[in-house]
Structure 1
Amino acid sequence: MAPRAPLIVIPARLGSTRLPGKALADIGGRPMIARVWERACAAGLAPVAVATDSVEIAEVIRAGGGTVAMTSGAHACGSDRIGEAVAALDPDRRHDAIVNLQGDNPFLPDGALAAALGLLDDLAADIGTLATQAAPEEADDPNAVKLVGTQIGPNRMRALYFTRARAPHGDGPLYKHVGVYAFRRASFERYVALPPSALELRERLEQLRALEAGMRIDAAVLDKAAPSVDTERDLAALRAAAREQEKQ
């Protein structure tokens, strides 16, 4: 059965390797994590919580009336952090799908979360995610993660691999992964019980743990997607985008 009672959890920490403190970076007068939380709530799909080990992040979300699950600072990736949070937030397992919305995409397009969850209508899919066609300047950028997959329907792909390298080789479009994961509850619990995998550690991409374990990840291909924030350049671009929105 397709999931009907999802829970959206946003993992957030201050100790980002590439851009420390980015969760609280100011974007148009609002901390980035607050903007991500607001976008998730505005989607109207499910309850939303933030999972963090940071008191500062927790204070920002609680000040806006949001739910926070405090977690350990030792987690290897966002989904592992969410695993601890979900055990506290939903011990009775009322939610049959868990959405990992990464905390560095404050301008996620309307309908994106629903598109990821909608992929789970296919009972063969363990995880739903998102992708968009990569821009030319993103092809060789290791911060723009590429999804290598095969098309299985209109605007739908089955993921075969994710990489920071330019892939696949040859002519044709490249697809950039967008940091959203919609898990079936059973698939999520299986995932977080697994140890980090060899390719996950090598590429520093948590989704490879699922693929190495034989789990199926499908991706909805969006017409466009706002950039995530991995570098100071990304942060400057999002601040410029926020200024443009304010003018409209």
Structure 2
Amino acid sequence: MSQAFIVVIPARYASSRLPGKPLQLIAGLPMIQHVWRQACKSSAERVVIATDDPRIVEACHGFGAEVLLTQVEHNSGTDRLAEVAAKLGLPADAIVVNVQGDEPLIPPELIDQVAANLATHPEAGISTLAEPIADIVTLFNPNVVKVSSDMTGLALTFSRAPLPWARDALASSREELPEGVPYRRHIGIYAYRAGFLHDFVAWGPCVLENTENLEQLRALWHGVLIHVADALQSPPGGVDTAEDLERVRRFLEHA
């Protein structure tokens, strides 16, 4: 089943680790332009940048992107998406893909994949992606979000802790991954229906979300099903730190 969808790219100016992150130059262009270019290579019928800062609006106008100035005080990118959906007057069943504004190397295939997965799973309110975890260091890294799913591909839970906990194997050794355990890393790209975004904002944060600092737990708390599929390809890392920025700069400047 194919269904039209739009991409919204939330882009905040403030960042504790990398101020002005969307406007940082990579291969001579602002990072947000690289993200936008990748999104435009997908099958999306529309790509909209949602920002809280006039400087980003000006930059986006400079390279021809559609951009909306949104409120400053949003707690998350999903809240910003909900404002965009309302401003654009999207119908409740419209599919909206959230592409994070610090993913200048995001493969367009993953954007198409997550949108198609939501269209083909009407029981789910959200679709997202994951990939296998290959080493013990990644498993215990709290910055890597782990996901556990049921036999139909619906998420059971997300956590920054090792998940699932291999009780016997990890009690005897934490030097290597236990064999046969389906450890998966969550990839932070989402497809939503516009009607869900309205509900998400109305609910407000829940205790699990605040505890783990993972907003997708708000959806599970309210009984919303999240479809999780293995990504068609492994995405390059995003930009969270100055070191990440230099890594992506080196990659694109020699591409």
**Closer/same/farther in 2, CA of residues 241 and 82 from structure 1, 3 Å limit:** same
Q: Note the C-alpha offset of 1:3.
A: 7.2
Task: Please tell me the residue identity of whatever aligns with 1:224.
Answer: S
2:225 to 211, 216, 221: 216
Match of 1:103 in 2: 101
Contact 1:128 1:218 in 2 (8 A): yes
**Closer/same/farther in 2, CA of residues 209 and 235 from structure 1, 3 Å limit:** same
Contact 1:49 1:66 in 2 (8 A): yes
Contact 2:79 2:197 in 1 (8 A): no
Structure 1 residues 6-15 or 167-176, which shifts more?
Answer: 167-176
TM-score with structure 1 setting the length: 0.88
Determine helix, strand or coil for the equivalent of 1:43. coil
Structure 1 residues 182-191 or 134-143, which shifts more?
Answer: 134-143
Q: Note the C-alpha offset of 1:97.
A: 1.2
Compute the RMSD of aligned alpha carbons. 2.0
Q: Note the C-alpha offset of 1:143.
A: 2.3
- For structure 2, list consecutive stretches of 5 or more residues without a partner in the other structure: 167-177
Structure 1 residues 91-100 or 142-151, which shifts more?
Answer: 91-100
Show structure 1 runs of 4+ deviating over 4 A: none
Q: Note the C-alpha offset of 1:81.
A: 0.9
| Percentage of pairs with the same residue | 37
Structure 1 residues 171-180 or 60-69, which shifts more?
Answer: 171-180
Contact 1:70 1:85 in 2 (8 A): no
Contact 1:143 1:230 in 2 (8 A): no
Structure 1 residues 199-208 or 76-85, which shifts more?
Answer: 199-208
Contact 2:81 2:197 in 1 (8 A): no
Aligned residues between the structures:
239
Match of 2:21 in 1: 22
Q: Note the C-alpha offset of 1:207.
A: 1.0
Q: Does 1:163 align with 2:159?
A: yes
Q: Does 1:237 align with 2:233?
A: no
Q: Note the C-alpha offset of 1:188.
A: 2.4
CA distance in 1, matches of 2:201, 2:156: 20
Structure 1 residues 41-50 or 132-141, which shifts more?
Answer: 132-141
Determine helix, strand or coil for the equivalent of 1:196. coil
Match of 1:130 in 2: 129
Match of 2:82 in 1: 83
| Equivalences for residues 143-154 of structure 1 within 5 A | 143-152=143-152
Q: Note the C-alpha offset of 1:140.
A: 2.5
Match of 1:6 in 2: 5
